[in-house]
Amino acid sequence: MSASQTLLDQALTAIREERPSARAMGVELVGIVGSITRGEARADSDVDVVYDVIGRPTLFDLGAIVVELEDRLGRRVDLIGREAMKPDRWAYMGRDLVVA
């Protein structure tokens, strides 16, 4: 990743590159929410990645996706499942969604 890329650009690229592998595990990587999308990320901020379940992923599958994204980005990644979120919480978080 080049120094001229923003963290948001790096994260979107990582998601796009990881998408085929994630799909094979039953996960559709959607995009990013949180401080990175609002331009408020700090050096210790994590990357909040939104996903949808499209198959039958295991916890090991989700863990493998997290590890791969963390390796690519060099920072902590949190996966956020849209279907598990309460509608009022998603209404708040979804405003910041940047689709990959």
Segment 32-47, tens digit of pLDDT: 999 999 999 999 999 9
* Cα 55 to Cα 29, 58, 70, 90, 94, distances in angstroms: 12, 10, 23, 21, 22
| 44 included as an active-site residue | no
In one-letter notation, the amino acid at residue 9 is D
- 48 catalytic, yes or no? yes
Matching residue, tokens 């009022």 = 88
Query: Which of 44, 48, 52, 88 does the annotation list as catalytic?
Result: 48
Query: Per-residue pLDDT tens for 45-88?
Result: 999 999 999 999 999 999 999 999 999 999 999 999 998 888 99
**Chain centroid to CA 97: how far?**
10
Q: Which of 46, 37, 90 is nearest to 69 (CA)?
A: 46
pLDDT value at 1 more than 70: no
* Rounded Cα–Cα distance for residues 86 and 75 (Å): 27
Active-site residue, from 46, 61, 71, 78: 46
What pLDDT does residue 73 have? 96
